[in-house]
Amino acid sequence: METCIYKGFVTHRRFKPLRHYFSYKTFSILFDLTELEDLHKKIGIFSFNRFNIFSFYNKDHGSRDGNDLTEWVKINLKKYNLNFNISKIKLLCFPRVFGYVFNPLSIFYCYDGNVLKAILYEVKNTFNEQHTYVFPVNDSSKIITQQCNKKFYVSPFIKMDTFYNFRLTEPDESIRILIKQTDKIGKVLVACQVGKKQTMSLKQLLINFFTHPMMTFKIMVSIHYEALRLWKKGAIFQKRQVKIKNNISLEK
């Protein structure tokens, strides 16, 4: 199977309006979307669209209506005239743990054979809103760099008038994803996720369950805890002006 685990950590470093840093250990799963049914059958503590210790639900991603995610990706690529022959889609995200998950960022990697053709960055906030940034991949460089304007309210302490700068590698023996958020003057925030590849198996899931107990709950608690620390430091709250459910945009 091509589905695998990436064990590592996530860091956030803010530069303004005030400095702030945190890091936590975590693990993500890179799901080959064609393998979800097989994982459901082969790994007793993992289920597809059903409750379990670990699970993956279609309704957590894409249109969030439970429909097939592969079709959702292909429909949206076609909508933007990205007429690639997509034969394989992988999704990097956190799994549900005891039925709960929050994914600040999920990444769809879309392949024609073994050639990466498009990347979709699916961003969520804690108000149950989502925006997906769609990028074609135009070269075969080992380091992928992509930029766009921020279009979606995420942090209550960062203004909307900023830019995202993505820098990442294709998932292999390791992952490294760097997101630099800037304004017209300079760096605002740098977020990074790194991880080492592990086999997707019952044994590895159990090991990660006991080394990262209730991981997905801790992610949400950590988000609110760090927001409280920022507020106590004097960060100014930025009210969100537009409320959305699911948005998607093409970026180049």
Task: Give me the percent of the chain exceeding a pLDDT of 70.
Answer: 100
Per-residue pLDDT averaged across 48-68, rounded? 97
Per-residue pLDDT averaged across 182-192, rounded? 95
Residue 238: the pLDDT is 87
Q: How far apart are the C-alpha atoms of 129 and 152, rounded to whole Å?
A: 9
Judge whether residue 147 has pLDDT over 90.
yes
Report how far Cα 39 is from the mean position of its chain's Cα atoms: 21
> Which residues contact residue 203 at a Cβ distance below 8 angstroms, ignoring those fewer than 6 apart?
none
Report how far Cα 243 is from the mean position of its chain's Cα atoms: 21
Residue 5: the pLDDT is 98
Rg value, the chain, Cα:
18
Residue 17: the pLDDT is 81
Residue 138: the pLDDT is 86
SS3 252: coil
Residue 213: the pLDDT is 87
Higher-pLDDT residue of 139 and 133 is 133
**Could you report the per-residue pLDDT of 64-75, keeping only the tens digit for each?**
999 999 999 999
Judge whether residue 174 has pLDDT over 90.
yes
Residue 237: the pLDDT is 87
Task: Give me the percent of the chain exceeding a pLDDT of 90.
Answer: 89
Residue 82: the pLDDT is 95
Q: How far apart are the C-alpha atoms of 69 and 230, rounded to whole Å?
A: 36
Where on the phi/psi map is residue 81: left (φ > 0), alpha (ψ -120 to 50), or beta? Answer: left
Kind and range of the H or E element at 47? Answer: strand 46-48
List Cβ<8 Å contacts ≥24 apart for 180-185. 181/150, 183/159
Q: pLDDT-based confidence at 140, cuts 50/70/90?
A: confident
Kind and range of the H or E element at 208? Answer: helix 202-211
Q: Based on the number of CB atoms within 10 Å of its own CB, is 218 exposed (0-12), middle (13-18) or buried (19 or more)?
A: middle
C-alpha separations of 91 from 39, 59, 69, 224, 242 in Å: 14, 14, 10, 26, 28
Report how far Cα 189 is from the mean position of its chain's Cα atoms: 17
Residue 142: the pLDDT is 86
**Could you report the per-residue pLDDT of 191-246, keeping only the tens digit for each?**
999 999 999 999 999 999 999 988 999 999 999 999 999 999 999 888 888 888 89
Pair of tokens at residue 203: 């044994």
Assess whether the previous peptide bond of 213 is cis (omega < 30° from 0): no
Strand partners, 18: none
